[in-house]
Amino acid sequence: MDSSLVVLARAGAGLVLDLDTPGLPRVLHWGADLGPGVDGAAFRSVAVPGRRGGAPPEPATPTLLPAQVDGWVGRPAVSGDRDRAYPHLRLVPSSVSVAPDGGGVEVASRDDAAGVAVVSSLVLDEAGVLRVRHTLTNEGAGAWTVGGLRAVLPVPDHAAELLHFSGRWGLEKIPQRERFLPGIRSLETRRGRTGHSHTGLLVAGTTGFGFGSGEVWGVHAGWSGWTVHDAERLAEGWSTLGAGELLAAGEVVLAPGESYATPDVYFVHSDAGLDGLSARLHTSLRARAAHPTTPRPLVLNTWEAVYFDHDLDRMRGLADRAAAVGVERFVVDDGWFLGRRNDLGGLGDWFVDPGLWPKGLHPLVEHVRSLGMQFGLWVEPEMANPRSRLVEEHPDWLLSDPDRLPRPWRHQHTVDVANPSVYAYLLERLDALVSEYAIDYLKWDHNRDLLEAVHDGHAGVHEQTAAVYRLLDELRSRHPSLEIESCSSGGARVDLGIIQRTDRVWASDSNDPLDRQAIQRWTSLLLPPELIGAHVGPGRTHVSGRVTELQLRCATALFGHAGIEWDITQCSPSELELLTEWAATYKRLRPLLHTGRVVRADTDDAHVLHGVVGDGQAVFSYVALATMTADIPPRLRFPGLEPDVTYRVAPVPGLSSALPRWARAAAWLESGGVELPGRVLSLVGVQAPTLNPAQVLTLELTAIAP
């Protein structure tokens, strides 16, 4: 390989850096692995655009930190100043080191006049996910104000379309498709949490890319505070994807010797559509040392069963019924702590309420454990009600301007976790609760945006986010077996920053199975199913009011970290029988569901087909979302199967709807299943049954020994 190039290549993904520049290395290629033997001069001659009349003699190309010093007229990757001086950095490399295995490179650079140094770290992991982090250090005299620091990489001009997401409470991850037009598409969140409308991934792709087709490039900032994700296309012929933390004015000011590091920014390429992209991310996350390795316990959460009506006998009865149907983890939600009878008071006072629990939680915990279940508890450590001892005694502990409070939201305000006194109080209370009750699991909630977040007289979201991360890290360090769920009004804090410190996310406060089909499909673009909480709710959904059948609710929750959120003491015998059968099916299939490859068929708007494929086994769910216009439903073509393996396809007992009385099942269903090679099942498929809207067919595919 030409010594003027640095090539990172793993798992079919590749990055090419050009060192033959006066400044920072240029990024000549990010995408598919180009293979060995790339000549630097030849590649440079085709990768760098020519010069047009009136253009600068040296054409601008994206560097590791594109800036105007390079002739870059797009959004700069780095900005800042020293008392309004040196607004434009001229960074010159001082060293370049490549990892021995070729999976990473570190570039150190500095601007001597500005007194600023930057270390850029790029690591391409064994799944083909590229992780980029820049660290800026103030090496000069006086303070340096960081304006912004982002990770940016080029994408080719045949990336013609963009995919990102919008959303709201109860309906997260709504896909948005648009053309990749000249100019900049900037997706910014200023909520103090990633938000229900957080993009999760910003994806650029070839025209018409889908789940199983097209070439795609994606970017994600692993940070839970303010973020920016952008796609930019310049007249000079360059297109880029970038992401990073979004900083408020004066939020990060570095004293001499201090540093600011960007969050890890993840870049992912796939030449096999969106499924290929998510397969890389899932493989990368599953390779982490902290990734959950024990079977994901079947959960019962008490929220939609009892709400704030806490009573020991009622909870014991719910626990008895939960254990009988096969639940493995019993989680007590909001309402257990001091003064908490509704959402108007108590938040922040993390002591068990003696009026509700005169002997503490011990009688309930002991009963739950006697039934063979783990015990979990809901907390919202970052928030407090004005009607609480915490706020009454320590009004200065709120994350706000000292002269005025921000607008109220849900009758609560945010506590300043970066305040050492607040941090110490929260750590002591959480540590004490986990220790006293040997708590297995915390559902950690975060139920409002951070408005006018002020810490120590300046914008405080950055320090708040970093302090919450430290709190989670310290709690986990003290209790290594403790598992934590990231919940934020449902799916408003889903990112790869929080997931490094937690064991699953709550994808949405809505358990509506029809809405959940889309919410889980798009959340799983970033996260594997075992990290996504999915519960069976009551027949009438708490959030949407929609009434759905139990088979659909069970089938939807199967494809995640499954649980129940329903007062099952009120269930009929037939409902309990189905729940028990579903619980057993979940336990039998979770080795596949939580290690296999997630696949999704490209279908019309009236139905979805998705599944998980493993070695010699697969499970798929076919759901009718709306009334079909065609008289005959489409064929079900199953992606991801081994072409030369013969599979038996059969319905999963209890997880399929009864067909409408006027419909007739396909012949293969009437006979109880069919055996066909994977090639046939993928390319030709099988005839789908006719389903009414909100009905489901769940199928298990099992390889037949030759």
Residue 666: CATH number of its domain: 2.60.40.1180
Residue 14, H or E segment = strand 13-18
Q: What is the pLDDT of residues 194-227, one digit of tens each?
A: 999 988 899 999 999 999 999 999 999 999 999 9
Q: Name the active-site residue from 18, 334, 445, 515.
A: 445
Structural domain count, the chain: 2
The confidence score (pLDDT) of residue 55 equals 64
The confidence score (pLDDT) of residue 51 equals 64
Does 207 map to a domain?
Answer: yes
Question: Rounded distance, CA 588 to CA 295, Å?
Answer: 10
Q: Which residue has the higher pLDDT, 603 or 380?
A: 380
pLDDT of 35 > 60? The answer is: yes
Does 300 map to a domain?
Answer: no
Does 96 map to a domain?
Answer: yes
Single-letter amino acid code for the residue at 41: A
pLDDT of 50 > 70? The answer is: no
CA-closest candidate to residue 530, choices 559, 550, 555: 559
Q: What is the pLDDT of residues 609-658, one digit of tens each?
A: 999 999 999 999 999 999 888 888 889 999 999 999 999 999 999 999 98
Question: Rounded distance, CA 147 to CA 640, Å?
Answer: 45
Q: What is the pLDDT of residues 429-467, one digit of tens each?
A: 999 999 999 999 999 999 999 999 999 999 999 999 999
The confidence score (pLDDT) of residue 449 equals 96
Query: Which of 271, 286, 301 lies at the terminal end of a domain, its last residue?
Result: 286
pTM of the model: 0.96
Query: Which of 286, 308, 341 lies at the terminal end of a domain, its last residue?
Result: 286
The verdict on whether 431 is a catalytic residue reads no
Does 410 map to a domain?
Answer: no
Does 411 map to a domain?
Answer: no
* Domain extent at residue 673: 601-703
Query: Which of 223, 253, 286 lies at the terminal end of a domain, its last residue?
Result: 286
Sign of CA dihedral 20, 24, 25, 29: negative
Residue 169: CATH number of its domain: 2.70.98.60
Arithmetic mean of pLDDT, 305-322 = 97
Residue 365, H or E segment = helix 362-370
Question: Rounded distance, CA 42 to CA 20, Å?
Answer: 13
Q: What is the pLDDT of residues 67-118, one digit of tens each?
A: 999 889 999 999 999 998 999 999 999 999 999 887 999 999 999 999 999 9
Based on the number of CB atoms within 10 Å of its own CB, is 500 exposed (0-12), middle (13-18) or buried (19 or more)?
Answer: middle
Does 408 map to a domain?
Answer: no
Q: Name the active-site residue from 125, 509, 512, 515.
A: 509
The confidence score (pLDDT) of residue 44 equals 77
The confidence score (pLDDT) of residue 236 equals 85
Residues contacting 563, CB < 8 A, separation 6+: 298, 299, 300, 301, 327, 329, 533, 534, 535, 536, 557
420-437 and 461-478 helices cross at what angle (nearest 10)? 30
Phi, psi of 182 (to 5 degrees): -55, 145
pLDDT of 173 > 80? The answer is: yes
Arithmetic mean of pLDDT, 550-578 = 98
The confidence score (pLDDT) of residue 53 equals 62
Tokens of 494: 């889903």
DSSP letter string, 580-639: HHHHHHHHHHHHHHTTSEEEE----TTEEEEEEEETTEEEEEEEE-S--SSSSPPEE--T
The verdict on whether 509 is a catalytic residue reads yes
Does 529 map to a domain?
Answer: no
Does 363 map to a domain?
Answer: no
Look over the chain and give the mean of its residue pLDDT values, rounded to a whole number. 95
The confidence score (pLDDT) of residue 22 equals 87
